[in-house]
Structure formats: C-alpha cells, structure tokens
A and B are shown apart, each in its own frame.
Chain A
Amino acid sequence: MLKYTLRRILQSIPILLIVLTLVFLVVRVLPGDPAVAALGDYASEESVRALREKLGLSDPIWLQYVKFLVSLASGDLGISAITGYPVAKQVIRVLPYTLELTFCAILLGYILGVPLGISAAVHRNSFIDYFNRIFSLLGLSVPAFYLGIILILLFSIIFPIFPVVGGGDFWDLKDNLRHLVLPGLSLGLLMMAYVTRMTRSAILDVLREDYVRTAHAKGVLEHLVLYKHVLRNALIPIVALGGLYAVVLIGSSVMVEIVFSRPGLGKLMVGAIKQRDYTTLQSVMVIYAVLVVLINLATDLIYGLIDPRIKYD
C-alpha cells in the first residue's frame, strides 16, 4: 500500500507543475495592465512604472516564472496589487468556508444518496425508484445557483428561518451552522442526486452478477447478500465517480458562494477577476487545481484500499 501511495503521489507532481505553468501563462495573457488596474487610469506614468517594478512585472517572463514557482514553494502567494494585503492571508481566511461547504455537501450527498440509491435499485420500478429517478434527473439539470435562489426565497423570504446572505463567524459554531444550512443544502442536494443515480446503477450492475445469484441460491440471508456481496463490489464505482462529482461540486461551490454572498475561494476569484487583481486570481486558480489534484489522489488511494486488485498492476 505504501509503495502504491508513494507512486501515486509522485505521479501527481508533473501534472501539478504543468497546471501551475498554465495558470501562470493564462494570468500573463489577461488583458489590461495590473499596475494600471491598481492605480486607476489617471495614475502618472512614473507611479505605474514604480508599481510594475515593485510587482516584478518588468522582469523578463522566465524570471517571473521562476520567482512564481519559488514563492509558491515557500507558501508565499504574493501581495495583491489591489488591496495591498498578502494573498495568502486572504486565502487562509476564506478557505475554511469553502472546504466546510464542499465537505458538508459531499457528506450530505453520501449519507442521503447511498441509502436512497440502494433502495431504488433493490425495489426496482417501485414508487421509491420513480421518485429517485425524477429527483436525480432534476438534480442533474438544475444549476446550483438557481437551487440556492429558490431556497432563499422559501426559507429566508417567505419563511424567514435562515439568514439570506453571508457566512457568519466561522469560529462561532451556532452562527456558522445557521449560515451553512441553505448553501449546504443547495450543494448537498445536487451531490445527493449524483450519488443516488450512480449508486442505483452500480448496485443494479452487481445484482446481475453470477456470484450474487449463487449467494441467493445457497440461501444466504437477503441483507447479508446485499451487504457482503453487492455493496462491497458496488463501492468501487461509487467511490470512483464520487471523486469525479466532488470536482464538479467544487465548481458549483463558486456559484453557491456568490448567490449567498458567502466568503470563499469562489467569491474571492470572481472578485479578483472583476477588479483585475491578477495575483489573487492566480493564487485562487492554483489552489483550486491543487484541490482537484488532491481529490483525485484521495480517490485513487481509497480505491486502492477497497479494491486490493488495483495495487498489483
């Protein structure tokens, strides 16, 4: 397992490096001069030049690239030309909100989605199966921000139970959770739709296998067949696709953060684009990419844990 883990970690490094390069290049080709964006259109030529010098923008591109990698490696994300604050500080402030939201949605998706998917597959063409099909079809189709708006309309405006916007004080548990409910639901229901759908089809696939029929034939109890034979084997695609959907979810979290005006990476990113704050934009994109690479890594590692065959190839 250790060897597999190490090999898998080593494999993600080149991908990450190319991703970093791409982010660096994309941010360099963005239209508009960051120094002008920071100082305004009426800034004098000298002050623009001074700021360019300070931001390292007048260095040759390869030097900027090396500096970018070196400072990233030491955890320094640079200083925002717009706000004047270190980007790392801003990121650390909002990152817990995004992680909390995404984690909560994934948890909700699995806790509710897996049982629903199982019962839909086991009781095929029953009421619960139909409900499940309609639910997951809706979940696959609805944009996260629209779901958020509907929830705001229902639970903040018509029945004012939860706060409309904001993220609350992260370290005040009660306040935090109150602000988490609606955004968490907007994202969690989507995840639940994905999870239910794939659980159902994974279970249906396994139910057809010969070994399940054999287990039934030799008189193994129904719930034991389900638990020991079906669920264990269906777990592999459920975990694999779960990783894929978690990546989709991170994308949707941007929208949820914006609808609920909730602090987070997504809100930071969109704000950075609108203000042409390229240092921040670059850092946020790097962090998103790192998150995705980490999720893929975690998926593969869990994969190795639950499917012993994978380690040996």
Chain B
Amino acid sequence: MSHLLESVPVDGGMTVEISQRHRMWMAFRRNKTAMFGGIMAVLIVLVAIFAPVLSPYDPLAQDAIARLSPASQDHWLGTDDFGRDVLSRIIWGSRVSLIIGILSVLAGLIVGTGMGMVAGYYGGRTETLIMRAVDVLMCFPDLILAIAVTAVLGSNLVNLIITIAIVMTPRFARLSHGQLLKLKESEYVVAAQAIGAKVPRIIIRHIFPNIFGELLVAGTLWVGVSIRLEANLAFIGLGVQPPTPTWGNMIREGVDVLINAPGISVYSGLCILITILAFNTLGDGIRDMIDPRLRGE
C-alpha cells in the first residue's frame, strides 16, 4: 500500500500523480459493492443537506386528527403517535446521524492519530503513558463507555459528538501507533532524520501521508460504528432529546406502537441499516482500491 501513496508527493511529476489516482479510481469503479456504497453514501448526504427542500411536511408539525395513520398519498410512510409525518422525520433524522457520525470520527481521528503517532515516535515513558491510557479506555465495550460519558456530559448534539469522539480516539491511537512503529525504521524516515528534519516535519510530511490510507479506510468504516452508537444511545433515551427527529429516537417511539404502526420503527431502522451499510461497503472499497493485494476479498 505504502508504495502507491509514496509516489504522490506534491513536488512529484504531475503525470505520475494523475495516473496513480486514475488507476485507483478505476479499481474503485470496478468494485460494484464499493460503488454501491459510495453512491448510497453520497445520496444520504444529499438528503441530509437538502432536507428542508425534500421533506413534504414540517417534521415537528403535529396533526391530532391524523395520528398513527397508515401509509397514504398524503403521508407516504404514514404518521406517528403525534400525527407527525414519518417520511419528513426520517429525512430530517438523517442530519443528526450524519453530523454525529462524521464529526465524531473526524475528531477521534485527529486526536487519536496525534496521540498514537506521538507515542510511537517518542517511545519510552510518553508511549507507555499514552498507550496504557488507550488500553484502559478499551477495557470498556464502546457502548458502555459511551453511556458512561453521556451520563457525565449530558446529551445534546455537541456533547454526543464529544462522547463518541472519546470512544473513537483510542481506536485511532492504537491503529496509528501500530502503523507508525512499522514505518519508523523505514529508510525514508531514517533518511529524513539523517538530513536533520524536525520531528513534526517527519511525522506530518513523511509518516502521515503513508498511513493516511489505513486511516481513511478505518475512518470510513468507523463512521458506521459511530452512527450505530448514536442510534443505540438514542434508543436508550440518551441521544439528542425529542422532539428533534433522529432515527434512534424514532425507533424508540415506534416500539411503543409496534403492533399498530410497525412502520415507524421498521423504516427508521432501515435507514440506519442502509447508512451503515453504505459506509461499510465504501470503506471496504477504499481498502481494496489502495491495497491491490486485498482486491476481491
């Protein structure tokens, strides 16, 4: 993998760079599942961005007369217990899932990768301290850690992003730490050290570009994980508080009326499933793209 990305320095030949990218893009396009995942992910992001235009009703508007009505021409997916349009709520719900899913992974990536690389590069006590802290955090299953942190921080959009970022950080730290240890002894890093490059420069210019692919794959896959975490928290009642529509909230509300209106839970859960599926296949596809050895597995 590393040799593919290595040849994409900024001051490298333009033609090399283009053909390299082109080759990867071709590999990605050949992979039908990855294309499916990518297209789905883009569509879901578009739905979230254009929610105000796409949703037929105000997601919060209640209609006491049309409570729990089945799917009809007016309400394609029916209405919920308060007579709110389920389709509109699902469309708006995509926003919370995506915002939390993507931003928390991004925050975890930045903090965790920083920690992992510093630990790996300096070694010694710094490494012990950081990596033991990571071990401790990883002693808790994701959800249990998330529940505990939410209990401390409280649940609103920003705090949920922070919570899930805290869960994601040790994962990125461990991943980047392992990658860095592999690259630390490599010739180009040693060479950079020999000509007197400073530590931040070595980490940012020489090591980071080479583990970026690995991080991108993990990050994409973990967006799925973090969307699922958010849904879990919402289902427990620790997510973004109602009446804000989120898929997890909708499933929970739908469970109470599962016998009369199973659609509310089933459709919103399906959205979570499809979104996670999209990011998972996209992540797998990116991995195949940057690592030709894994193609087709």
**Which single member of B139, B232, B259, B280 contacts A19 (CB below 8 Å)?**
B139
- Residue in chain B with minimal CB distance to A250: B141
Is the beta-carbon distance between A251 and B148 smaller than 8 angstroms? no
Residues in B whose Cβ lies below 8 Å from that of A247: 141
Is the beta-carbon distance between B140 and A258 smaller than 8 angstroms? no
CA distance A110 to B202 in the complex (A): 45
The yes or no answer to B49 lying at the interface (CB within 8 A) is no
Is the beta-carbon distance between A251 and B143 smaller than 8 angstroms? yes
Is the beta-carbon distance between A258 and B235 smaller than 8 angstroms? yes
Listed stretches B21-29, B62-70, B81-89, B270-278; interface member: B270-278
Listed stretches A24-32, A85-93, A215-223; interface member: A24-32
CA distance A273 to B236 in the complex (A): 11
The yes or no answer to A1 lying at the interface (CB within 8 A) is no
Given A15-B139, A138-B277, A152-B258: A269 and B147 interface contact (C-beta under 8 Å): yes
The yes or no answer to B195 lying at the interface (CB within 8 A) is no
Residues in B whose Cβ lies below 8 Å from that of A285: 140, 144, 148
Given A26-B152, A292-B140: A150 and B228 interface contact (C-beta under 8 Å): no
Residues in A whose Cβ lies below 8 Å from that of B140: 19, 285, 288-289, 292
- Shortest A117–chain B CB gap in Å is 13
Given A15-B136, A149-B258, A258-B235: A251 and B142 interface contact (C-beta under 8 Å): yes
Interface on chain B toward A: helix, strand, loop, or mixed SS? helix
CA distance A269 to B148 in the complex (A): 9
Is the beta-carbon distance between B297 and A270 smaller than 8 angstroms? no
Interface flags for B228-243 (1: CB within 8 Å of A; 0: not) read: 1001100111100000
- Shortest A279–chain B CB gap in Å is 14
The yes or no answer to A303 lying at the interface (CB within 8 A) is no
Is the beta-carbon distance between B238 and A141 smaller than 8 angstroms? no
Q: How many residues of A contact B (CB 8 A)?
A: 42
**Which single member of B143, B259, B266, B269 contacts A252 (CB below 8 Å)?**
B143
Is the beta-carbon distance between B269 and A143 smaller than 8 angstroms? yes
- Residue in chain B with minimal CB distance to A140: B280
CA distance A19 to B280 in the complex (A): 31
Interface range, B side: 35 or more
CA distance A249 to B293 in the complex (A): 30
Given A137-B281, A204-B297: A153 and B258 interface contact (C-beta under 8 Å): yes
Residues in A whose Cβ lies below 8 Å from that of B224: 140-141
- Shortest B218–chain A CB gap in Å is 14
Interface residues of A in 1-42 (CB under 8 A from B): 15, 18-19, 22, 26, 29-31
Interface flags for A179-218 (1: CB within 8 Å of B; 0: not) read: 0000000000000000000000100100000000000000
- Residue in chain B with minimal CB distance to A23: B148
Interface residues of B (CB under 8 A from A): 33, 132, 135-136, 139-144, 147-149, 151-152, 154, 224, 228, 231-232, 235-238, 251, 255, 258-259, 262, 265-266, 269, 272-273, 276-277, 280-281, 297
Interface residues of A (CB under 8 A from B): 15, 18-19, 22, 26, 29-31, 137-138, 140-143, 145-146, 149-150, 152-153, 157, 201, 204, 247-248, 250-252, 254-255, 258-259, 269-270, 273-274, 281, 285, 288-289, 292-293
Beyond the given A19-B140, A252-B143, A259-B235, please list 19 additional residue pairs across the A-B interface where CB-CB is below 8 A.
A15-B135, A15-B139, A30-B152, A31-B154, A137-B33, A137-B280, A138-B273, A141-B224, A141-B228, A141-B277, A143-B272, A146-B273, A149-B265, A201-B297, A204-B297, A248-B142, A251-B141, A255-B143, A273-B147
